[in-house]
Amino acid sequence: MGDLDLSELPVAPESFDPEAFGEFYRRHERSIAGLLMRRTGSAELAADLTAEVFAAALLAWRQRAGPVLDERAWLFGIAQHKLVDELIGGGR
């Protein structure tokens, strides 16, 4: 399955394609949740952080925040940042 070219997605909310983002989510949710579960040891925290990762990805997706050559690496980077924020900042 090929990567989506996020740089071609529209900025305008009325043009946003939720189906494309849903497919993107389904393709990557399991690996992101698994990574965060292994790193945190907590299913609840991993689920919360996974939601935060995809919320951040959605915002970037809608704002076309730079080209994404490797979706999985991009999401893992977001996940790492969310995990560090949680560990250093003590959570929400």
pLDDT at 1: 37
pLDDT at 25: 93
pLDDT at 67: 55
pLDDT at 15: 59
SS3 9: coil
pLDDT at 63: 76
Regions of the chain with pLDDT less than 50: 1-2, 4, 9-11
Q: Cα(50)–Cα(39) distance, rounded to whole angstroms?
A: 12
Instruction: Please spell the DSSP secondary structure of 54-67, one letter per residue.
Output: HHHHHHHHHHT-S-
pLDDT at 62: 77
**pTM for the model:** 0.77
